[in-house]
Structure 1
Amino acid sequence: MNTVTDSAPAPCDTGDMGLGPGPGSGPVRVSVLVVGGSLSGLSAAVLLARHGVDCLVVERRPGIGTHPRSRVLTARSGEVLRSVGLESAIDAVSRRPSGWFQTDTLADPVWTRLGPAGDPTRSISPAGSRLCDQNRLEPILLAAARRHGTRVLYGRELTEFVQDPHGVTARVLDRSTGRSRTVRCDYLLAADGTRSPVREALGIELDGRRGEPRFLSAVFAADLDPVLRGRHPTAVVFPASQVLFARGTADAPLWEYGIPDSPFAAGACEDELGRFARDRIREVTGLPGLEPDVRSVLRWGASAVIARRFRAGRVLLLGDAAHTMPVIGGLGGNTGIQDAHNLAWKLAAVLHGRAGGQLLDTYDVERIRVASHTLWHVLATARGLPQALHPETLQLGYLYPDPAGGPDPGPCEDPYRPTGRPGSRAPHLWLRDSAGRRLSVLDLFGTRFTLLAGPCGSRWLPAGTRAAAVLGVPLAAHRIGGPRGALCDPRGTFTARYGIGPTGAVLVRPDGYVLRRWGKAPDTEAALEDAVREALEQPAALGADPVRSAA
């Protein structure tokens, strides 16, 4: 990968590569070029499309991978994908967590439960967590992106790019034909993995430690009903840190066997790995005559690294290109989905002329903070440190710095006791609309700023309409509770959860994070205009230095 700072890549003139007219037609033009068509890149494509941003995704692999890889879809990622209408499709290919257990073999009559049963996030999230194999989730994202008109091309590799004050010029190679095309974009998103060629071309250094391949996992199909005896575990832990994970769906179950410190040197053949995995699967299941149908075997290393910058001009890093985490809790891929969620509305605001490019500085500030904090606690969990936070706090409790520059409350809060403070995820509660249908308050967010007024805050609604017109910014306003015409708050908890009075209000960003709140009604129109203008034109407060000692 070459990157140049003073001249564009040499012209390339061969074939259309699925990108429209070929020779003589000039470069392909697109607002955003996404490099990497895996979990983070496809999530970015779907979220950008929802904001009306045209993008092109190029992925060097020939198609979606077959190994399941990421398995846990956290409650926060579930909320993100619910917001783009994918919840039902995901439910069809996933299962809900049921709990971890420990035993010597599956055939043993006594299993010891590890941790809580089920999914504790269901009480604080409309989505909750799921077990969804990455190779089942990616086709859903791919279909959604293409449904919105996004071009996603496999077997295409970015070979060169150059930035200038007005955009990025890139060269994309069709690996099957050897032909190349020039792509001109406003911004380039690097979602090209832990060894990101884009990041390396930019010279962005990593903090932390890369993992060498020493873990082995094998995905297999087998009839384990005789030893499961009606139990449906999320995972089972055996001696020597061996683990059996539930994969697939309840109707089409698969299993994944995993072991650390596998005794194989680099280059071990697949047949040898498969034989080793089958023998160990027979041991941990307690079924010596079992013939597991091993679908794939993978050796991998547990890296713990984070890039020192997530933005370099018009190039932004997300997913594994920005941070790579050990698999504990499945937070690596989920953090990438949430990178895309944070970035999509900001890119849209800039590209639609509603914000200056400096808004993208807040992506770097906010997501480095979250990734650093998450990585530290993943490692703390791996080491058994008492400071490690509960998974629900890492999923739903992380905080961004207060955009107005208020005191920094720290990197997270207890999601079971939400505050509604600026920089926090807007707390979930169930509402009913005028037709009596139940919806989460989170379902009100997505592509616009959202103003939520208290039950006696009716004057906020026309003020929101006027502020949106003055600033040219999409903004929706709702009154929660109170007289007819408001969204019904059956339990009357809205004002307490958001920390406001009956005449107060909160302003929520498109990604569902609280931007500003007012305990009672001030000069509403001016307050709203100032808050939105500051959000779109000024970088977020830097707050505390990111935690980088994790790795």
Structure 2
Amino acid sequence: MTTAHEHVPVLIVGGGLVGLATSMFLSQHGVRHLLVDKHPEVTLQGRARGINPRTMEIYRAFGVADAVNEAGTPFADDAGGVRCETVAGEWHWLFPPELPRAWPEHTAGTFNLADQNAVEPVLIEAARHNGAEQRFETELTAFEQDDDGVTATIRDRKTNETRTLRADYMVAADGRRSPIREQLDIAKPLQGQTLNFVSVIFKADLDQIIERRAILWLIVNEKIGVTLLATTAKHGRWGLSIGYDPATQSPGDFTAERCAEIIHGALGRDDIPVVVQDVTPWTQEVSVAETFRQGRVFLAGDAAHTWSPAGGIGANTGVQDGHNLAWKLAAVLNGSAAPALLDSYEPERRPIAQTLAELTELRQARRSGHNPEHDEIDDLHWALGQRYTSPAVLGAPYGTVFGDVLDLHGQPGTRAPHLWLERDGERIAVHDLFAHSFVLLTGADGKAWLEAADNVEVYRIGTAGENVELVDVESEFAHRYDLGTDGAVLVRPDGYVAWRAEPGTTDPARALRDALATILGQS
């Protein structure tokens, strides 16, 4: 049975973390869309693990940080990474449990160790609350695009009913193998070695051999080779990643009995009862697509870039892909921006992905002991120091993809520096303001900017005794933004500085109007 064509502004293909986050962002921007995914809503496999402070900062601005933190509660005591021959044997710290989980001087976000299947229900509920249509167990079976949009055929796997849709744009969040990317013939060349694993979810009482929970255990011994043990959200349920050589083995070789043998070898105890619940193969590779866009189709998350899971960088980067793209799609679809704004997606996100691919390889080598002399990657700078150079940023200095967070003062193309503020007696973070619209920040003497702006939100920031909309709780605005009292910075909905006006701007209304027109592709 085939039903008639219907129209949807955006079609998202893929209902993992990246697709669901993009759905949530679009729904809060008021963009009608449809998300489809061939799988059920939630699986046993945790897959991506760990949310960095920048992503939590974004979740906070979109009102889901509390729920995500609640999802991470079972992991609150996990800390540090362990290398050992067996879990019951002697441990050595790969990275110590004392590493900080927050950078309070730089962001209101904190590290959260929740895994993907704990966070996805939060994103599903938030998106649906704002009108998102999401269909699981529904697959994309065909698509073609032209200058005006994408025609897609989807099939309900339960009823076998097909629907033909017409979408203005399509977001491919359909994973590492991305059939959409393959059909578009977009190359995603491998960089370095490909590793193959099966992920085993099992039940076991390990309290007798684990005195404290770590984030992960890297287990290396002659009996089982290399495995990686991780906690899950449910007490007594664990995940073990087992490496294998596809030249001599296949995922089918890992029966429940064989997995139980390997688990006992990793634990160093054969007397602990083990119940294998799920076995799923996965591949670790480093690759970045040669382009993140073709026509009206955009790649996001693993469809655009994959690398080792070290540090949880992949999932966070994918969510931030969706965050970057969603506001631009919203602006184009509601008519406030020209389609040219979408040209900024690839030059902003692809250099980040390429650089992180290289950095995560170095991190993986260091933690596995293959390159121990190499310095650890600074999480602070890769999470908060990303820099954009694109037509959607005016005056961005050319330079490295990542800047020194301690030396960023609201330059165009960088994340707006963190501030604690007070509004009507309520303490907020400056990034709480950045979600749905452009925001202009100015100092206490910036009255002219209030009068100049009629299509952006404007806030004066100053001390409690001044006539301002936001009180600078820690008196850091002047230092962190380097603006004086009557300069201004224009911040995009994704929290990045788009433009800045130095003190003494003679015609604020015209300067702001011209800047916005250029940023939005209208000039």
Asked if 1:196 corresponds to 2:181, the answer is no
Indicate the SS of the match to 2:103: helix
How is 1:24-43 mapped onto 2 (pairs within 5 angstroms)? 26-43=4-21
Structure 2 equivalent of residue 457 of structure 1: 446
Structure 2 equivalent of residue 155 of structure 1: 137
Structure 1 equivalent of residue 521 of structure 2: 537
Structure 1 equivalent of residue 470 of structure 2: 487
Structure 1 equivalent of residue 37 of structure 2: 59
Asked if 1:424 corresponds to 2:414, the answer is yes
Once residues 188 and 164 of structure 2 are traced to their aligned partners in structure 1, the CA distance between those partners, rounded to angstroms, is 29
- Deviations along 1:317-376, one digit per CA (max 9) or x if unpaired, are 111111111211111122111110000000001000111111111001111111111111
Asked if 1:370 corresponds to 2:380, the answer is no
Once residues 292 and 448 of structure 1 are traced to their aligned partners in structure 2, the CA distance between those partners, rounded to angstroms, is 52
Q: 1:121/1:204 Cα in 2 relative to 1: closer, same or farther (>3 Å)? A: same
Say which of 433, 436, 454 aligns to 2:423: 433
- For normalisation by structure 2, the TM-score amounts to 0.89
Say which of 394, 397, 400 aligns to 1:410: 400
Structure 1 equivalent of residue 482 of structure 2: 499
Structure 2 equivalent of residue 119 of structure 1: 100
Kindly provide the amino acid, as one letter, of the partner of residue 390 in structure 1: D
- Deviations along 1:239-274, one digit per CA (max 9) or x if unpaired, are 34433222216xx4633223434699454437x443
Once residues 208 and 406 of structure 2 are traced to their aligned partners in structure 1, the CA distance between those partners, rounded to angstroms, is 39
| Mean Cα deviation higher: 83-92 or 410-419 | 410-419
Structure 2 equivalent of residue 472 of structure 1: none
Say which of 366, 370, 377 aligns to 1:389: 377
Structure 1 equivalent of residue 457 of structure 2: 476
Structure 1, gaps ≥5 residues long: 1-13, 16-21, 469-474, 540-551
| Mean Cα deviation higher: 114-123 or 79-88 | 114-123
Once residues 429 and 477 of structure 1 are traced to their aligned partners in structure 2, the CA distance between those partners, rounded to angstroms, is 16
Say which of 234, 255, 258 aligns to 2:238: 255
Contact 2:17 2:116 in 1 (8 A): yes
Indicate the SS of the match to 2:486: coil
Percent of paired sites with the same residue? 36
| Mean Cα deviation higher: 201-210 or 318-327 | 201-210
Structure 2 equivalent of residue 205 of structure 1: 187
Once residues 42 and 438 of structure 1 are traced to their aligned partners in structure 2, the CA distance between those partners, rounded to angstroms, is 29
Say which of 184, 204, 227 aligns to 1:242: 227
| Mean Cα deviation higher: 61-70 or 355-364 | 61-70
Kindly provide the amino acid, as one letter, of the partner of residue 228 in structure 1: I
Say which of 70, 79, 85 aligns to 2:63: 85
- Deviations along 1:152-198, one digit per CA (max 9) or x if unpaired, are 11222222222222222211122333332210111111111111111
Deviation at 1:106, TM superposition (A): 3.8
Deviation at 1:69, TM superposition (A): 0.6
Contact 2:202 2:276 in 1 (8 A): yes
Contact 1:216 1:262 in 2 (8 A): no
- Deviations along 1:276-325, one digit per CA (max 9) or x if unpaired, are 43334334444432113333223322111111111111111111111111
Once residues 521 and 98 of structure 1 are traced to their aligned partners in structure 2, the CA distance between those partners, rounded to angstroms, is 50
Q: 1:168/1:382 Cα in 2 relative to 1: closer, same or farther (>3 Å)? A: same
Indicate the SS of the match to 2:201: strand
Once residues 194 and 159 of structure 2 are traced to their aligned partners in structure 1, the CA distance between those partners, rounded to angstroms, is 33
Indicate the SS of the match to 1:208: coil
- Deviations along 1:477-532, one digit per CA (max 9) or x if unpaired, are 11112314431212211121122222222110000001112331413222211221
CA RMSD of aligned residues (A): 2.5
Kindly provide the amino acid, as one letter, of the partner of residue 327 in structure 1: P
Structure 2 equivalent of residue 527 of structure 1: 511
Q: 1:391/1:296 Cα in 2 relative to 1: closer, same or farther (>3 Å)? A: farther
Once residues 158 and 110 of structure 1 are traced to their aligned partners in structure 2, the CA distance between those partners, rounded to angstroms, is 47
Once residues 268 and 206 of structure 1 are traced to their aligned partners in structure 2, the CA distance between those partners, rounded to angstroms, is 24
Kindly provide the amino acid, as one letter, of the partner of residue 56 in structure 1: L
Structure 1 equivalent of residue 117 of structure 2: 135
Deviation at 1:228, TM superposition (A): 2.8
Asked if 1:72 corresponds to 2:55, the answer is no
Indicate the SS of the match to 1:488: strand
